[in-house]
Amino acid sequence: MATGGRLAVRLIWGSNTDVGKTLVSCALSSAARRLRVPVRYLKPIQTGVSGNVWEMDGARVARALGAGHDVGSHALAAVAGIAGGEGEGGGGGTSASAFASAATLFGWRNPVSPHLAVEMEGRLVPDGDVVRAIRLQEEAFRRELRDSNLDGLMLVEIAGGPLSPGPSGTLLADLLRPLRYPGILVGSAALGGITGTLSAKESIEIRGFDLSHLLILEDGEKGLNNKEALEGHVAGSEVEVRRMTPLESKTCVTDGEDYVRELEEWLSLTGTRAEAEVVVKDVMDAHLRKVGEMESLKAEALRTFWYPFVQHKALDEGEIMVIDSKEGHQFTTFDGEKGCLAPQFDACASWWTQGPDLQMQMEMAKKLGYAASRFGHVIFPTNVHEPVLRCTRNLLRGPGQGWASRVFYSDNGSTAIEVALKMAFRKYLVDRLGPDCLGDEDVEFDFGGVSVVTQRHGYHGDTLACMNAVEKSVFNGPVQFPWNVQQCVPLQPAYLKQKGGTWSIEVDDGRLVVETPFKSLTDFFDDDIRDFFDQDAELRGLYNEVIRDELEGHDNLGALLIEPVCQGAGGMKFIDPLWQRELVSYCRGRGIPVIFDEIFVGLYRFGYESVKDLLGIDPDIACYGKLLTGGAVPLGVTLAGEDVFDCFLDDSKTNALLHGHSYTAHPIGCSAANFAFDRYNAILKVDEGSRIYWDEDLTAEISKAARVENAVALGTVLAVELSGEQGYNSTASADLVQLLRDRGVYSRPLGNVVYFMCSPFSTKHESCDDLLGLLLELLR
């Protein structure tokens, strides 16, 4: 990494209005200048812009710096009292000197909160424009620093307190969160300053911001000693508390030059200068240290982590990505070459867990905090608390609607499946052997021979029972775990594929390919459309015959375990619903309990709370995880009907379901799930199944690319199968994945399958179209 060109950005927060943010900015800016650190001061949002230039914070800082004040066109329009300036991104001052400059971007005349100023004057600036304008300033400054091979400092002064509304009404701390610059908080020395300052600090930190300093303009002799009290309460954190001399002004800002003279006197005080220089040095040191540390994290990770599913022999530092934070479905990663942070779209949805956008992520944080303080964890058996009760209601009224009456909690998808198998097998045993089998120690039965009917290419988790429930593969051979035994009968599903813009059904592992006139994947699930497809009757017969042939010889089948609609880990393979309906129907006919593994497919992955509504079949048992907590913390659940539950009722305690984990039904996880359900129900439930994320025409175009064997999209998932070697060891997608990462898209292939997965709260027009365009470009 080059030295020089490193830019430390700091937000200047105030615990509230009028605590001295601008004074601190003046002091820090001029200290930076004295220390020969190139400095740029930025006031993105300024109200009270009128004829008197000193009412603008930027003007005062510019004066303190002895530099020009660059006023953006939006703010200028306020000064001039003219309308206009909307959506111009401020336009402020990317041309200023790299060594010392001040700029104001957006401005309104009335000296009120920005949201009220917009109400009075109009000229709304959307949140995204504010963020983009600041980022442009950062980038421009960074370029100048790079050109001059210097390290610099940018100060961004917030208007009001952290939860003051911005122009759109969005609270400033929420509005600025996509930037997540570290901050300096200017606290209050007044009566009530301790509670105000500490609350402001909590509001900043609960949004994932870091603070390095808490500065307080307080007279150590005459003041309330808020500094000492604050110091006691932030002890042990990273935040350093410092005191600066207050400016006891006899004039006010409207006194113009008089005020500025006072300001300059204050700035020239030895104490002010020394304090400010200490802070600037701290900030620059901390930034350079952090840049250095981030690069070194890779080596430490390589040395101490044991990654899942990663062959460490082949791993080098270059492949390791440093994630500094996540903003909705965007990672902010460290770019070692440039020595700065860079975004990467999380196209794997963080292993398919990504629920919230950034706003929801911050709301979630508060819900988790509340639950942690109210409950922490509490033991579950024979207890009830509000979060688990609400979560159970959400599940039974949601995906369990119409068939489930009981919820069993565990920690993840894998444990939810183990529990589901225990439930199904008990049902099977009781149905087959009668309830007396529970107490009969001498019952003669081939328990070990109980098999589960599954789909080939299925995946249900990595614990032993989950692995025994899928066919032998590289994932579960004896070298992975000597105890692995195939205890399943895996059937080959009929898959749905699009190539060259044409949809077909691939039956019997490709031995029969049925072309269809369908235009999209959803057509296959639409009974009205499907009724007109004249090959369906024939297909149904064929499916039934094959299923019967495969299963008839097995007489000890204890459960059917399937991922309905789509197999995720198996390669994003979409299955003909007709085939799954035939399979379920056959198993039902034989009294085999049906388990839906909805861990990947459920909870709006494909637009439906449960894909049972897409498939038109209710299961006897179903498992959920991943999106259940909205992408926050692990939680798994197994839902079941009362007939399954009843098979565990007995006079003996030992015939209960003896399975549990320490954190079973933990209130924090249940609270996260409840918040996710609140959002799912409010936003996604209302137009269930109708939301389009990936454009069908663009997907069809992708299916026509030379390298593409199959391009399919449903709900949040777009999957593209490339030609070349298939399976886990395939390197067919390696070049494409690298190209995507270079373009800011973090994709994790499944062998030769590249997929994009967005959050269920995404919209097609937000970023999906751009991503499809990029993919098309790279494929061509």
Which residues between 627 and 646 bind a copy of itself (CB under 8 A)? 631-634, 638, 640, 645
The span from the CA of 696 to the CA of 521, in Å, is 9
The span from the CA of 119 to the CA of 114, in Å, is 9
Query: Which listed range, 70-78, 387-395, 572-580, 697-705, lies at the site for a copy of itself (CB under 8 A)?
Result: 387-395
Does position 311 interact with a copy of itself (CB under 8 A)? The reply is yes
Identify the CA nearest to 346 among candidates 355, 337, 338: 355
Helical axes 358-374 vs 667-679, angle rounded to 10°: 150
**Residues 465-484, interacting with a copy of itself (CB under 8 A):** 465, 468, 474-475, 478-483
CA-CA-CA-CA dihedral for 772, 139, 184, 206, to nearest 10:
0
Binding mask 232-271 for a copy of itself (x = CB under 8 A): xx--x-----------------------------------
Does position 540 interact with a copy of itself (CB under 8 A)? The reply is no
Query: Which listed range, 124-132, 140-148, 247-255, 349-357, lies at the site for a copy of itself (CB under 8 A)?
Result: 349-357
The span from the CA of 585 to the CA of 116, in Å, is 62
Does position 716 interact with a copy of itself (CB under 8 A)? The reply is no
Q: Are 244 and 271 in contact (CB under 8 A)?
A: yes
Query: Which listed range, 127-135, 228-236, 574-582, 717-725, lies at the site for a copy of itself (CB under 8 A)?
Result: 228-236
**Beta pairing partners, 357:** none
Residues 6 or more apart whose CB falls under 8 angstroms from that of 640 comprise: 404, 405, 406, 408, 420, 423, 620, 621
The span from the CA of 643 to the CA of 48, in Å, is 69
Does position 342 interact with a copy of itself (CB under 8 A)? The reply is no
Does position 444 interact with a copy of itself (CB under 8 A)? The reply is no
Write down the least CB distance from residue 417 to a copy of itself, Å: 10
Tokens of 322: 């440093």
Query: Which listed range, 29-37, 89-97, 169-177, 606-614, lies at the site for a copy of itself (CB under 8 A)?
Result: 169-177
Does position 774 interact with a copy of itself (CB under 8 A)? The reply is no
The span from the CA of 754 to the CA of 348, in Å, is 10
Query: Which listed range, 36-44, 132-140, 191-199, 766-774, lies at the site for a copy of itself (CB under 8 A)?
Result: 191-199
Write down the least CB distance from residue 43 to a copy of itself, Å: 17
Our CB check for a copy of itself shows the closer of 152 and 667 to be 667
**Residues 85-124, interacting with a copy of itself (CB under 8 A):** 112-113, 115-116
| Alpha-helical regions (H) of 398-438 | 413-433
The span from the CA of 758 to the CA of 359, in Å, is 16
Binding mask 734-753 for a copy of itself (x = CB under 8 A): --------------x-----
Write down the least CB distance from residue 243 to a copy of itself, Å: 17
The span from the CA of 394 to the CA of 380, in Å, is 18
Helical axes 734-742 vs 769-779, angle rounded to 10°: 130
Write down the least CB distance from residue 663 to a copy of itself, Å: 4
Q: Identify the residue among 301, 529, 683, 737 touching a copy of itself (CB under 8 A).
A: 301
Write down the least CB distance from residue 161 to a copy of itself, Å: 3
The span from the CA of 525 to the CA of 614, in Å, is 7
**Beta pairing partners, 344:** 331
Beta strands in 647-735 (DSSP E): 708-714, 717-722
Query: Which listed range, 136-144, 252-260, 443-451, 712-720, lies at the site for a copy of itself (CB under 8 A)?
Result: 443-451
Write down the least CB distance from residue 80 to a copy of itself, Å: 26
**Residues 136-165, interacting with a copy of itself (CB under 8 A):** 160-165
Identify the CA nearest to 268 among candidates 594, 545, 460, 31: 31
Beta strand 340-346 with 406-410 is unpaired
Our CB check for a copy of itself shows the closer of 274 and 389 to be 389
Q: Identify the residue among 310, 342, 512, 513 touching a copy of itself (CB under 8 A).
A: 310
Backbone φ and ψ for 767, nearest 5 degrees, come out as -140, -15
Write down the least CB distance from residue 626 to a copy of itself, Å: 5
Does position 601 interact with a copy of itself (CB under 8 A)? The reply is no
Write down the least CB distance from residue 197 to a copy of itself, Å: 8
Query: Which listed range, 344-352, 499-507, 700-708, 766-774, lies at the site for a copy of itself (CB under 8 A)?
Result: 344-352
Does position 653 interact with a copy of itself (CB under 8 A)? The reply is yes
Write down the least CB distance from residue 543 to a copy of itself, Å: 29
> What DSSP string describes 21-65?
HHHHHHHHHHHHHHTT--EEEEEEEE---SS-GGGSHHHHHHHHH
Our CB check for a copy of itself shows the closer of 611 and 627 to be 627
Write down the least CB distance from residue 597 to a copy of itself, Å: 13
Does position 756 interact with a copy of itself (CB under 8 A)? The reply is no
Tokens of 725: 């070697």
3-state SS, 391-402, equals HHHHHHHCCCCC
**Residues 51-80, interacting with a copy of itself (CB under 8 A):** none
Query: Which listed range, 277-285, 447-455, 518-526, 585-593, lies at the site for a copy of itself (CB under 8 A)?
Result: 447-455
> What DSSP string describes 564-630?
SSEETTTTSEEB-HHHHHHHHHHHHHTT--EEEE-TTTTTTTTSSSSTHHHHT---SEEEE-GGGGT
Our CB check for a copy of itself shows the closer of 353 and 504 to be 353
**Residues 192-211, interacting with a copy of itself (CB under 8 A):** 192, 194-196, 198-200, 202-203, 205-208
Binding mask 395-434 for a copy of itself (x = CB under 8 A): -x--------xxxxx-xxxxx--x--xx--xx--x-----
